[in-house]
Structure 1
Amino acid sequence: MPLRVTFLGTSGAIPTTERNPSAIFVAREGDQLLFDAGEGTQRQMMRFGTGFSISHLFVTHLHGDHVLGIPGLLQTMAFNDREEPLAIHAPHGTRRQLKSLVNALGNRPSFPVRIDEVGDGDVAHRANEYEVRAFGTDHDARSVGYALVEDDRKGRFDRERAEELGVPVGPKFSKLHEGEPVELEDGTVVEPDQVVGEPRPGRTIVYTGDTRPTTATIDAADDPGLLIHDATFADDRAERAAETAHSTARQAAEIASRTGADRLALMHLSSRYAGYTDDHEEQAREVFDGDAENVFVPDDGDTLDIPYPDADE
């Protein structure tokens, strides 16, 4: 089952000719989710072929570079005769502002829009075999990050062991894999734990939005396949990062190391670094895994498939 991330916008507060403000598109099987919607997000969705069939929009905070794309996106959805409801999740205390933004053009959307407020530890969205959890972040506005966490999968079925125990090939295999004991013709009962291994972890994506480095990100999920972390500044602006409630690339890497992340995407780059990201990547790799594939500054339009943790086994 594919889990794919498309980076629609990777710039900081000011867009550049190469980078749009923040927006992350996630597709999991038939579900399509959007995290933040900076100015021009609808154009990025058209440009990179994601379509507009999102069911949930997760907003980290209400700074313009994370939400100004919402009115235009909703209008485009209405022009496309959308009827399906859209749920927007945002930090506690922001509902009134967000409602004003949704109705900014003077008309209510032609389809249902629900606004839910979430805080640290809340399950923002529960779906089939995964959930999206909110966690607290440290920014100069009401803010949260989000972790998409899949449920554990069934353990591997040991067919060879089942046959050794006398289980006939057929429906009894499926019952055992589903956790049901089976009885053989001689009356012997075979229990699932005799032929089924330990549950296997699913995949996890963590997106911080804008934040200083915080332990809440570390607590949000263990060993994520991808951590998308604020890295607005390089070391040359570390003091500025602290003053403006952002992180440096090095700080993002330190958090990634502590979470056990497989990959780190450095996001929300200040426009002062337009066209030059080498320092961000080099400084992050001094702390995190030095592999270029594991620490990177994504470009707008980049896509990434998240593998299962045991994919190589």
Structure 2
Amino acid sequence: MRVTFLGTSGAVPTTQRNTSGLFVNKDGDYLLFDCGEGTQRQMMRFGTGFSVDHLFVTHLHGDHVLGIPGLLQTFDFNDRDAPIAIHTPAGTRGNVRQLIEANGTKPSFPVRINELSAGDVALDGEEYTVRAIATTHRCASVGYVLAEDDRKGRFDREKAEEELGIPPGPKYSKLHRGDPIEHDGRTVQPEEVVGPPRPGRTFVYTGDTRPTDAVVEASADADLLVHDATFAQDRADRAQATAHSTAREAGQVAADAGVRALALTHISTRYAGQTDRLAAEAGEVFDGEVFVPEDGREREVAFPDGE
């Protein structure tokens, strides 16, 4: 699973940071989270390609959605005929449709707009899901959790071969997928050579939000949490008034959820050249890995057990 940060600025872009956009390559499934103005150029610049079938919108503020019309128009110019699903908070379908058709035209390919409330599954993929989670902002909003299914347990080849005398071959595959086999006159059960299921990876993207218990719960033990960190702590009042989070508050969410790594995003323009300050403030309360990604940074999300 590879995450590419396409846009990490707050409401206003800078020469170094574009508005919100994040691309996930999930084993060949290409997923886009938010699409601020200029996102399609960022996709070209950082080589993600345009083979996106699902766009997950956290809320309809301009810095998260104004790139949608241009991206769909580019799809049209490239003769796209595959459908795309746009997932958006409940009650916003009409607004998304108006945004798409604002220039008086409609895409030549199917566009499905899927409204979501917290807890709804947006995408039921192959061995993973993407579901909406509750966030708190100044308008209808959701975040998203990409959670993989548990993986098979480790196969103990040494025990199978040396202790049980089972030679390498089809019987190994059968045992590993959970089926018993017959060998040397007895039934060998899968649990004799296959360990317990291993957890898959979990990725969480909050969009704009206040720190909330709902996000903490949804992010429990996540491998990567990408959290709103618009302000430093000395502007905590401003963060509360605008329904954003400070870096320290994001760090506390990460600590309470027990995540492995925290990425701070949606950075206010006032912190240009000062992002180390934000990372340090988050690190005061969170002792895991914390970083403020630059646009274009790629992050491989490793399995919890490192394999």
Q: 2:269 aligned with 1:271, yes or no?
A: yes
CA distance in 2 between partners of 1:111 and 1:237 (Å)? 45
Write the letter of the residue equivalent to 2:171. K
CA distance in 1 between partners of 2:218 and 2:102 (Å)? 33
Corresponding residue of 2:152: 154
1:19-39 C-alpha deviation (Å, 9 max, x unpaired): 111000000122100000001
Contact 1:12 1:268 in 2 (8 A): yes
CA distance in 2 between partners of 1:278 and 1:172 (Å)? 54
Corresponding residue of 1:124: 122
Contact 2:85 2:113 in 1 (8 A): yes
Residue of 246, 253, 256 corresponding to 1:255: 253
Corresponding residue of 1:203: 201
Corresponding residue of 1:14: 12
1:234-267 C-alpha deviation (Å, 9 max, x unpaired): 0111000011100000000000111111111001
CA distance in 2 between partners of 1:17 and 1:25 (Å)? 20
In the TM superposition, what are the counterparts of 1:86-105 in structure 2 within 5 Å?
A: 86-105=84-103
Corresponding residue of 1:306: 301
Contact 1:130 1:148 in 2 (8 A): yes
Corresponding residue of 1:177: 176
1:90-134 C-alpha deviation (Å, 9 max, x unpaired): 000000001111112211101110000111111110111111011
Deviation at 1:185, TM superposition (A): 3.2
Contact 2:219 2:225 in 1 (8 A): no
Deviation at 1:222, TM superposition (A): 2.8
Q: Which sits farther off after the overlay, 217-226 or 89-98? A: 217-226
CA RMSD, 1 decimal: 1.1
Q: Secondary structure at the match of 1:200?
A: coil
CA distance in 2 between partners of 1:159 and 1:304 (Å)? 32
Q: Secondary structure at the match of 1:149?
A: strand
Contact 1:134 1:144 in 2 (8 A): yes
Corresponding residue of 1:54: 52
Residue of 143, 146, 154 corresponding to 1:145: 143
Corresponding residue of 2:43: 45
Question: Sequence identity of aligned pairs in percent?
Answer: 65
Q: Spell out structure 1 runs of 4+ moving beyond 3 A.
A: none
CA distance in 1 between partners of 2:5 and 2:303 (Å)? 20
Deviation at 1:166, TM superposition (A): 3.3
CA distance in 1 between partners of 2:193 and 2:24 (Å)? 35
Q: Secondary structure at the match of 1:19?
A: coil
Residue of 279, 290, 298 corresponding to 1:295: 290
Contact 1:137 1:208 in 2 (8 A): yes
Write the letter of the residue equivalent to 1:94. T
CA distance in 2 between partners of 1:8 and 1:20 (Å)? 7
Uncovered stretches (5+) of structure 1, i.e. residues with no partner: none
Deviation at 1:158, TM superposition (A): 0.7
Contact 1:5 1:24 in 2 (8 A): yes
1:134-158 C-alpha deviation (Å, 9 max, x unpaired): 1000101000000111111000001
Corresponding residue of 1:112: 110
Q: Secondary structure at the match of 1:36?
A: strand
Q: Secondary structure at the match of 1:73?
A: helix
Corresponding residue of 2:164: 165
TM-score by length of 2: 0.97
Corresponding residue of 2:279: 281
Q: Secondary structure at the match of 1:74?
A: helix
Write the letter of the residue equivalent to 1:185. D
